[in-house]
Structure 1
């Protein structure tokens, strides 16, 4: 790969939200598998590979939608909002696939928890770049039930693990607009001696 190709990929990656997907168009399983393989090549301290993915497609999208909307309903108490409940039921059905992003806590090595979290975030970035390379749309959300302890078991996670969100994938119907970034001068300190 020429550096210019990677620069273009990294700089043109965009979040594409489920309402921007082509309704009902399925991404082939083989492409999703390649995206997941790319995710597992993310850097991780001690080669612990702390990620745990669950992939929902087809009827699994409805299973996911039902689980998250009902858990939201049970756990929200007086903060329950019917609109949020409906959104949690309907939005997953707009995607081709949804991947849960779990962090399985490293217990065999003395690695700080934050480094396992960072490794899963790197895996999510590999997913983002892969989705873009395949000409698909993707969106990492940490909303809804992401941080509820009671959600973990459904995604194969245990008490010491963390659920870091969900990655929605679909074909792009409505592209996201171009984005801007601040200049390097505003974010970088050069130390030259």
Structure 2
């Protein structure tokens, strides 16, 4: 039993320590295996939430047509949002990005209306769900990156995502198999972030 527990801990900690965001430009266009996508979504659904509100909601853009429509929609939102700061290159990148990966997932926080909880608790719960997804993706050899565009609260984006009035857009997850090794990075020492009493 102890050996099993230690082996389990080793795999969990390995995923935590080696998980890294993979730029969408470094992902293959190959379709994700259905069982991999299902496992990643189920990992999200196991996240903790106060009073079991489970506020995470996902819009999954998997078909080529859906991802193309998403790209068109995001580009239009960017154009409205940018105004005089509009850049043609940014517009084109926004338009194409969802079409270059096999799956894009929009993350939405839908607070429990009857739970009477602070909004930040619901947002934190969605963050936990996304972290679960990222760990599961890494364990399955799937690359992922969480992107939050500057126009995250734009009315046209809310319309594009068909969001309820009390919902909050939390970003887009781009998923795909790596076309190159996962990147490496270092964290600043834990001693800079802890106080022992």
Mapped contact 1:140–1:168 kept (Cα < 8 A): yes
How far 1:72 sits from its partner (Å)?
Answer: 1.3
For residues 19-58 of structure 1, the C-alpha deviation after alignment (integer angstroms, 9 at most, x for no partner) is 1011x20002232122111101111111001111000012
Check conservation: 1:44, 1:116, Cα contact below 8 A: yes
Q: Which residue of 2 is the match for residue 53 of structure 1? A: 58
Matched with 1:30 is 35
Cα deviation, 1:146-188, whole Å, max 9, x if unaligned, reads: 2323312332322221001000000101223311112221111
Distance in 1, Cα, partners of 2:142 & 2:183: 15
Number of paired residues?
A: 190
Matches within 5 A, 1:136-155: 136-143=142-149, 145-155=151-161
Q: TM-score, normalised by structure 2?
A: 0.91
Q: Residue 98 of structure 1: CA displacement?
A: 0.5
Q: TM-score, normalised by structure 1?
A: 0.93
Deviates more, 1:106-115 or 1:174-183: 174-183
Structure 1 ranges of 4+ moved more than 6 A: none
CA drift at 1:144: 5.0
Deviations along 1:122-152, one digit per CA (max 9) or x if unpaired, are 1110110011011010000002542323312
Q: Paired residue for 2:102, among 93, 96, 99?
A: 96
Structure 1 gaps of 5+ residues are: none
Alpha-carbon distance, 1:93 to partner: 1.3
Structure 1 vs Structure 2 CA RMSD:
1.4
Check whether the contact 1:147–1:164 (CA below 8 A) recurs between aligned residues: no
Match of 2:91 among 85, 88, 92: 85
1:118 corresponds to 2:124: yes
Q: Does 1:189 align with 2:195?
A: yes
* Structure 2: tracts of 5 or more residues without a match: 1-6
Q: Give, in whole Å, the separation in 2 of the partners of 1:144 and 1:57.
A: 23
Secondary structure (helix, strand or coil) at the match of 1:158 reads coil
User: Is the 8 Å Cα contact of residues 16 and 175 (structure 1) preserved in structure 2?
Assistant: no
